[in-house]
Structure formats: structure tokens, C-alpha cells
Amino acid sequence: MWDIFPGLSRGGVQALACDRPHAWRDAVEVVAMDGFTMVKTATTEELTEAVTVTIRFT
């Protein structure tokens, strides 16, 4: 599980994913996130097998 982190950006998310072992990335099945487009893009590029689900924070 990731939490909110400083400097949230496409590059930041990609760096976090790349720092994880391949087995960890391959095991991710679902990613729930807010509607921040750069995060979704980075997630789908780095966690190609995961399903992304946009959730609404209120």
C-alpha cells in the first residue's frame, strides 16, 4: 500500500514502482486512486497487469 507522499508526480510514482521488486509489481492486481491523471498514467505504465479503479474522496 502506498500513501500520499510529497512531490506527487508521474515521475515520482514511476520511481516508487521501479524501486519495488518485479515480483511485487507482478503481484499487484488492483490500484485504487484519486482522479489525478499523472498518477493513473504512471501506474498503468509501471503496473501493466493491474486494474486501476478511480475512487472519489469526499
For the segment 26-51, what is each residue's pLDDT rounded down to a tens digit? 998 988 887 777 778 888 888 888 99
Count of all residues that appear for the chain in the document? 58
Residue written as grid cell 500500500:
1
Q: pTM to 2 decimals?
A: 0.67
Whether residue 1 is predicted with pLDDT greater than 60 in this model: the reply is no
| 37 assigned to some structural domain | yes
Domain residue limits at 25: 10-54
Total number of domains constituting the chain: 1
Q: How many CB atoms lie within 10 A of CB 43?
A: 21
- Whether 3 is covered by a domain: the verdict is no
